Amino acid sequence: MNINNLKTNDRDLGEKSFSIRRKTTQKIGIDKKKIIIPPDRSRKDNPFKAYSKSGYVFFHYENKAELRALRNFCYPYPIEKTRKYKAKGKLSFLSPKGGYAIEINDFILRLNSNHFLVLSEEEFKTLFYIDK
């Protein structure tokens, strides 16, 4: 069957007429900077505070000799040595919530069974204190 030999009738196509109504529209300019309003940091009674119900278990990765203890802390999730392990002691950590890069003097917090948080020493000291 050759496509060029096919003939169609207008009645077979079910031709319908339609018209497009034109509506007047206006573009509304949105300033993207005004959509998200940061909280007022100058107020001392800032309502955006959260407190934990219990303390967090953490691990301080101080040197390369603590690799086995760090693997036990993060078990069952794998910790792999990176190419910069020999020079700087860098590690990669893969958890269900994402991958993390761990360097020497980082703190690893276990929030629950599959949530971890990796903080530098400066960040940890500004956010937490250690209760002995």
Q: What pLDDT digit, counting tens, does each position of 10-60 carry?
A: 455 555 565 556 655 555 554 544 445 455 555 566 666 777 777 788 899
- Domain extent at residue 96: 57-127
Considering the entire predicted model, what is its pTM? 0.60
> Can you tell me the distance from the alpha carbon of 107 to that of 119, in angstroms, rounded to the nearest whole number?
5
Q: Is residue 76 part of a domain?
A: yes
Does 108 reside within a domain? yes
Residues ≥6 apart with Cβ < 8 Å to 103: 61, 88, 89, 90, 91, 120
pLDDT in tens, 68-85: 999 999 889 999 998 998
**Is 119 a domain residue?**
yes
62 has a pLDDT exceeding 80 = yes
Question: 5 — alpha (psi -120 to 50), left (phi > 0) or beta?
Answer: alpha
Residue 20 is predicted with a pLDDT of 57
In a domain, 18, yes or no: no
Q: What is the pLDDT of residue 106?
A: 92
Tell me the per-residue pLDDT of 90-114, one tens digit each, with 9 for 90 and over: 999 888 888 899 999 999 998 888 8
**Residue 123 scores a pLDDT above 80:** yes
Domain contains 68? yes
Answer whether residue 3 is part of any domain.
no
Report residue 118's pLDDT band, with 50, 70 and 90 as the boundaries.
very high
Q: Which two tokens stand for residue 2?
A: 């050759």
Alpha helices in the chain (DSSP H): 10-13, 67-73, 85-88, 121-127
Sequence-separated (6 or more) residues with CB below 8 Å from residue 46: 39, 40
Does residue 84 belong to any structural domain of this protein?
A: yes
Return all residues near 15 (Cβ < 8 A) that are at least 6 apart: none
Into how many domains does the chain fold?
A: 1
The H or E element containing residue 110 is: strand 106-110
Position 67 pLDDT exceeds 60: yes
- Six token digits for residue 122: 């400066």
Q: Which tokens go with 100?
A: 């993390």
In a domain, 113, yes or no: yes
Cα distance from N-terminal residue to C-terminal residue, the chain: 88
